[in-house]
Structure 1
């Protein structure tokens, strides 16, 4: 009947109407089940996300790098910062990059006063906001060197 253009017989029409009515009654139940499944899927997805985050965070706790004593990190950072060519106050300088990696590295870097006792910078003609930013950077750098003699 779907592929032809002929009209259904009375018996075929009755059969089709019966099927339509049965399916109309079944659809709301399927919609309900789909809603339940979507809700369950949302809950499972949320649980999965929570577990994946837990695994990610707690796996980092087991990192072998956490077992390195701060003195080893300080030596590594000293070598890394000694390789600097150019202006340490620049954005990509090892000093600034290493203090941005994680809390632990930042703490180790800041406590390693000797890493902050050498300051290399260029003077240039710059607009006041840039000079103010450089001044703030220099103040931070000098304060981190504590009382160590500065080498400019």
Structure 2
């Protein structure tokens, strides 16, 4: 299994409503779901939304690819890019591992810019270090490039639309 990371873009108005209306937050986070069918439908809707990004267990690898260091290293590499994975402020809503965290509009803008400034040569060099000559390289290398593109696009759209980003580790 492992810890999975997911991101959700929300407007500042939605965020305020989540903070002020417990019932709305419960529905938003799927707390009221009881049957397998309801849970499946909830997550299918999320996965099909452009306001949701699930990077699964690959967040640790992406952290390394973006920053050049392990997520649990004492030296976090590029602190701004480290915060894309481990930053933000805690919310009152529980995730499987800790609390759901949020990145402010200004943090999202800064992170979008930092993600756009990752040098392709650095990314490729780190990918070589990560994958080496492992037999899975043939399908993992395109997968990591695809995740990178999805990640950058997600944060660029969030920055353009003035969204807050929620981060959950489950």
TM-score normalized by the length of structure 1: 0.29
Larger radius of gyration, structure 1 or 2?
1
Q: Which has the higher helix share?
A: 1
More strand as a share of residues: 2
Larger RCO: 1 or 2 (CA < 8 Å, sep 6+): 2
Output the TM-score relative to the length of structure 2.
Answer: 0.27
